[in-house]
Amino acid sequence: APKRLKYDFVFGRYLGLCLTRFLARVVDVTNTTLTLMAVGAVLFFLWSLVLDENTYYLAWSWLCVGWAHLLFNVYFEQHILEIRKQLVPEGSPHLVSLVNSFNATSSSLQQQQKTPFQSISEKDLTLPGWCSVDLEKYLKGRSKLRNVFVKGTPNRQDTLYWMDRYGPTLYLIILQSNLIFIGLDFATQLMFFLPTMYNSEASRTSFVVYLVLAVLSISGNMLNKKHLVANLAVVCSVGSLRNINAIADVFQEEKTENLVRCFLVIYRLHRVASRSAPVSSKGDDGHYTTKLDPLEIREVSQTFNNFACITEDDGYISYEEFRLMMSTLGGSISENMIQTVMSSMDHSDDGQIDRSEFLQWYSNNILAVEETDLLQNAPRVLFELFDEDNQGEISISQFQQKLDKLQVGFGDQISIINEIDRDGNGQITSREFEMLFRRFPPAELLRKNNNNNNRAGQSSSLGLCSDVPHCGGSVLL
């Protein structure tokens, strides 16, 4: 069985990638979809011959097709929602065991937060609906027609879909046909049938009734299409249908985001060391758990781990590791200045920096800084420090040396460099370097910026946005 993802996997980012790829498949209309639409057009043409091309009856026939399409859409959407419910019950109670496991391994964090997850007993734990599928009974009750088209034995999750394992492919064809028909219906009604009904010998009452029914049909078909697409992307991307490439991309994006965070930390330390930025002391703006959510604490802790294992992986940043960390960007910094900067982080005065001290410093000196300084000025300053030859470009070998000091693995280095060096010329320009910070900013900085924008929007819109709930960095599926 494939290894399960960890509880803290960022499903929101994963679903975003899956939705993007799903939309790319939707616009790439398959030959099967085109064939089905052609068959439908031929059938309607034959029906027009039966009616002796009477446009009045053809208009009402087309309207009936539109309403049949709407009723099918309603049924189809309910089917998709039912699949999602079977895969992911409301409230995701089947994830409670993972939450309790997180509680057991992070009790110290809960004590600091003073808001631990509520423990739920096993009697309250329910499994997703697909777990209770009687596979033997399902196979016995499967129709002969389905057995002709669907070969092999499905798993329990496959039984939730039409045509079993071919369900996602069928749903894609249905969605493509759906979108094509909506456009065709709107154009046909507007350009042909509505003018025909208006100019026909039928009463004006008949035309008004036809117009209302046509508008309701088209509006109903267009309603909530984005929710249908989003739900289809979910049911076609979870469980046994998980997208391995998207999962790998999520992990790689997390590593790249962590690298950007490392650069921002070192940049901020250099600014403090050069006396061009003030340093906040312990407790200036409250405990870090009041400004970072558990997921963000985990991500920033990973940045701490990058620095703490430069020379020895002992869970602390020693003076030697701190000195090497400060020298990552290059430039000359005196020993006295390094000691001064380190003392601003070492609140216990034991000569080393632990995880909680790093998180506290980060919340006081990174989150408190204006985003303009971090995401606009930082790339420019860092690029100038990396460009040791003052050539206006950073060579791949120079950049790899910086990554080596940050304990970035060779495989991850290749992925990050390919991400930055888009033209593949072996040189990193200032614009390419700036794009790294724009595309992969730390999530906590985005959340802070969104909160600031929300507060500004509330003050300028008389509180109309006050009921908008905060959306965290991950979605539990």
Give pLDDT, residue 240: 81
* Stretch among 17-21, 60-64, 359-363, 406-410 having the lowest mean pLDDT: 406-410
Give the closest residue to 294 by CA, choosing from 16, 10, 4, 89.
Answer: 10
Give the closest residue to 172 by CA, choosing from 232, 223, 220, 222.
Answer: 232
Give pLDDT, residue 102: 37
Q: Mean pLDDT across the stretch 15-28?
A: 88
Does the structure show a pLDDT above 90 at 258? no
Spatial neighbors of 222 by CB under 8 A, at least 6 apart, are 182
- Structure tokens that stand for 5 in this block: 């993802």
Give pLDDT, residue 331: 56
On the CB side of 130, CA atoms within 13 Å amount to 21
Q: How sure is the predictor about 16, in pLDDT bands with cuts at 50, 70 and 90?
A: confident
Does the structure show a pLDDT above 70 at 136? yes
Max mean pLDDT range (186-190, 320-324, 453-457): 186-190
Q: What is the DSSP letter of 353?
A: B
Cβ atoms of residues 209 and 448 within 8 Å: no
**Between residues 129 and 333, the one the model is more confident about:** 129
Does the structure show a pLDDT above 50 at 328? yes
Q: How far apart are the C-alpha atoms of 422 and 252, rounded to whole Å?
A: 16
**Between residues 261 and 88, the one the model is more confident about:** 261
Give strand pairing partners of 427. Answer: 395
Q: If you write DSSP's letter for every residue of 372-415 in order, what string do you get?
A: HIIIIIHHHHHHHHH-TT-SSEEEHHHHHHHHHHTT--HHHHHH
Tokens 């758990």, residue located: 289
Q: Mean pLDDT across the stretch 160-182?
A: 91
Give pLDDT, residue 199: 86
Give pLDDT, residue 177: 93
Give percent above pLDDT 70 in the chain. 78
Q: What pTM was computed for the model?
A: 0.69
Per residue in 356-377, pLDDT (tens digit) is 888 888 888 777 766 566 777 8
- Structure tokens that stand for 130 in this block: 């697909």
Does the structure show a pLDDT above 90 at 241? no
Does the structure show a pLDDT above 60 at 255? yes
Give pLDDT, residue 59: 92
Q: Which amino acid is at 450?
A: N
Q: How sure is the predictor about 187, in pLDDT bands with cuts at 50, 70 and 90?
A: very high
Q: How far apart are the C-alpha atoms of 17 and 256, rounded to whole Å?
A: 16
Give strand pairing partners of 395. Answer: 427
Per residue in 61-81, pLDDT (tens digit) is 999 999 999 999 999 999 999
Cβ atoms of residues 308 and 316 within 8 Å: yes
**Between residues 264 and 72, the one the model is more confident about:** 72
Q: Which amino acid is at 308?
A: A
Give the closest residue to 317 by CA, choosing from 330, 303, 331, 299.
Answer: 303
Per residue in 38-51, pLDDT (tens digit) is 999 999 999 999 98
